[in-house]
Structure 1
Amino acid sequence: MSETEAVLSSYLDHLAVDRGLAANTLASYRRDLLRYLEHLRNRGRVTLGEVAEGDVTAFVAALREGDERHRALVAASAARAVSAVRGLHRFALVQGVCRHDPARQVRPPRQLRRLPRAISVRDVERLIASCGPDGAPLTLRNRALLELLYGTGARISEAVGLTVDDVDLVAGAQRVRLRGKGGRARLVPLGGFAGEALRAYLTGARPRIAAQGGGGSGLFLNARGGRLTRQGAWEVLRGAAERGGLDGVSPHMLRHSFATHLLDGGTDVRVVQELLGHASVTTTQVYTQVTVDAFREVCAAAHPRTRD
């Protein structure tokens, strides 16, 4: 293993152990940084101490342009790669591997601001009503899953990672424990519809599904009795959307809808931040822009003094 590869390995260990980055994020960083080391080798750089700022900026350009082996990255993906590179050089400097940080002044490509897309309450109701044949065990599971995704704003990975013990359906205090990015846990209250759907699933469907295999303690099970995967949950949503005549609905769109509808109803943005599990309120504030845009459209269409 070369010195540069050893630094990379130590840096990834640091991110996993000290920073607690999620496995998917670590995998992306590893892929980005391996591509960066290949870029450096092609430019004749053997150690990180030999790297100049021009090498880093050339890598940024290569990310956006692509080549015969790599597709061109969109701004968001390129920004993630630049963040990984900056972190690696900063780590190498702190560890005394090199005397300067050539990436310190390099900025990631600017990203176009894309507002999250939400669906209406009526469309959410259509989606959930399209879970499948009434009374069927998998229909009860599907309805419980979609009610939970929309009713708590859970990420799909958080939902499929739930165990039976993570759900508390005691009357008046219904809640679920979600484990978010970096292993951070949060308690989110369950509304009446989500609580009722989960109760129906746990009593009327899950025992019958679990009998098909070894689902263990997983809350949501597949038809064979094993734990439902992310891909399986995606298929549940896709099937309900097709039956309901809804296009382009994703699990994350239900999370966006959860946040947007709460803010539309007057919920404080700090409360929404806690419910979503965002580390910073800045991340949550993008949803306030969504509601402001909606209000602006309503005013433009209805107020007599808004003509151009």
Structure 2
Amino acid sequence: MTHDNGARLLSADEVVEAFRRELERQRKPQHTVRAYVGDVRSFRAHFEGEGGSLFPGGVRSDDVRGYLSALKAKPATLHRRRAGLVSFFRWAVSAKHCSESPVEGLDAVRLAPLRPTQRRALGAKEKKRFLATVKEHGTLRDQAVCELLLATAIREDELVHVRLEDVELGEHSGSVRVQGQGSRKRTIPLHRSVRRALSSWLAARPVLGPFLFPGRYGGALATSSIRRLVDKYERRSGVAGITPHVLRHTTLTELARRKGHDIALVAAYAGHAKPATTALYLQPTQQDMEAAADSLMED
């Protein structure tokens, strides 16, 4: 497993075991140790079952929110579960297994279940406006990052670990190899516009490290840098609510619903372990509901 800051790599199981040892070192009561470790394992199972990867460094606030909402438990139980995750992620940040806690600021009692219509996907005009803004104002690197996010539905924690050797570009075809959850790998074809953006970036890219988008010292770029990059062009474009995950969701929604591709193909494209996860992209968005309501007034 990997994370943003280059600390010694541990598998997810090793990280959880290290957390357990830390609780014991702090002389926490055994029932607390069992409860907190159980909370972490329960969350990890949910996270990976939903297609998440690179635990714990790849966990985002929406992942925790979705987990707590899915529990449908009493407030006291939600508080207990949240307390276990707060303890774990505070330790994980201090131990440099992730860069920031995704739990801070989430109030378990106020979490409402996430409805399918709350899963944000950009409309065609919003997508076009966002990309036009990146092309007009963005550096070659930023253009390549945003084109790749939208063309492949790659997760940001997968994107930052793409190496030069993982990219193949030709005049009429191209692909990128992606290391997903666990040992699963997938190869995603690249269409012409993203091949063009990557070729321009590679021609200007500094000779620094093995990664397609290197950080300052040649290591993997931090996922927080990808989020800040997308935030920058979200503000410039005036299209609210754009995140790397929204770009991923936009592409998968387009493949599954607007283009009507087979769900197994979309699951392979997304790197989902379970097609049931991909089925979420067949659910109607809020925009779909509004369009349906408007259609009732049409002759």
Q: Could you state the TM-score of these two structures normalised by the residue count of structure 1?
A: 0.61
Please, which runs of 5 or more residues in structure 1 have no aligned partner? 1-21, 46-59, 82-109
Do residues 64 (structure 1) and 58 (structure 2) align?
no
Give CA deviations for 1:261-305 in whole Å, capped at 9, x if unaligned: 1121211111110000101100000110136x6555433321359
Separation of aligned partners in 1, 2:151 and 2:236: 21
Shift of 1:131: 2.9
> Residue 178 of structure 1: SS of its match in structure 2?
strand
Do residues 246 (structure 1) and 239 (structure 2) align?
yes
Q: How many residues align?
A: 226
Give CA deviations for 1:62-87 in whole Å, capped at 9, x if unaligned: 65235xxx9657xxx69x99xxxxxx
Please, which runs of 5 or more residues in structure 2 have no aligned partner? 1-9, 36-73, 90-110
Indicate which of 243, 266, 281 corresponds to 2:275.
281
272-281 vs 239-248, which deviates more? Answer: 239-248
112-121 vs 194-203, which deviates more? Answer: 112-121
Partner of 2:294: 301
Partner letter of residue 160 of structure 2? V
Partner of 2:113: 112
Written as runs of structure 1 = structure 2, the 5 A alignment for 1:162-173 is 162-173=162-173
Separation of aligned partners in 2, 1:255 and 1:29: 32
Indicate which of 121, 128, 148 corresponds to 2:124.
121
Separation of aligned partners in 1, 2:135 and 2:34: 60
Indicate which of 116, 128, 133 corresponds to 1:130.
133
Do residues 155 (structure 1) and 155 (structure 2) align?
yes
Partner letter of residue 268 of structure 1? D
Give CA deviations for 1:30-61 in whole Å, capped at 9, x if unaligned: 6589769945346999xxxxxxxxxxxxxx98
Contact 1:119 1:257 (C-alpha < 8 Å) held by counterparts: yes
Partner letter of residue 65 of structure 1? H
Give the number of the structure whose alpha-carbon radius of gyration is greater: 1
Separation of aligned partners in 1, 2:190 and 2:122: 20
| Alpha carbons of structure 1 residues 31 and 132: separation in structure 2 relative to 1, 3 Å | farther
Contact 2:144 2:198 (C-alpha < 8 Å) held by counterparts: yes
Partner of 1:271: 265
Partner letter of residue 112 of structure 1? P
Contact 2:173 2:192 (C-alpha < 8 Å) held by counterparts: no
Contact 1:132 1:240 (C-alpha < 8 Å) held by counterparts: no
Partner of 2:145: 145
Shift of 1:227: 3.9
Q: Could you state the TM-score of these two structures normalised by the residue count of structure 2?
A: 0.63
> Residue 214 of structure 2: SS of its match in structure 1?
coil
> Residue 131 of structure 1: SS of its match in structure 2?
helix
Separation of aligned partners in 1, 2:188 and 2:15: 29
Separation of aligned partners in 2, 1:129 and 1:25: 43
Partner of 1:196: 196
Partner of 1:100: none
Separation of aligned partners in 2, 1:112 and 1:216: 43
Partner letter of residue 261 of structure 1? E
Partner of 1:95: none
Contact 2:210 2:218 (C-alpha < 8 Å) held by counterparts: no
Separation of aligned partners in 1, 2:115 and 2:34: 38
Contact 2:211 2:218 (C-alpha < 8 Å) held by counterparts: no
Written as runs of structure 1 = structure 2, the 5 A alignment for 1:93-108 is none
CA RMSD, 1 decimal: 3.9
Partner letter of residue 287 of structure 1? Y
Relative contact order (alpha carbons < 8 A, sep ≥ 6): 1 or 2 greater? Answer: 2
Shift of 1:222: 4.1
Separation of aligned partners in 1, 2:140 and 2:34: 60
Give CA deviations for 1:156-206 in whole Å, capped at 9, x if unaligned: 011110111111111333111011010211011112221111111112x21
Partner of 1:90: none
Contact 1:260 1:288 (C-alpha < 8 Å) held by counterparts: yes
Separation of aligned partners in 1, 2:150 and 2:230: 11
| Alpha carbons of structure 1 residues 43 and 190: separation in structure 2 relative to 1, 3 Å | closer
| Alpha carbons of structure 1 residues 286 and 221: separation in structure 2 relative to 1, 3 Å | same
Contact 1:222 1:232 (C-alpha < 8 Å) held by counterparts: no
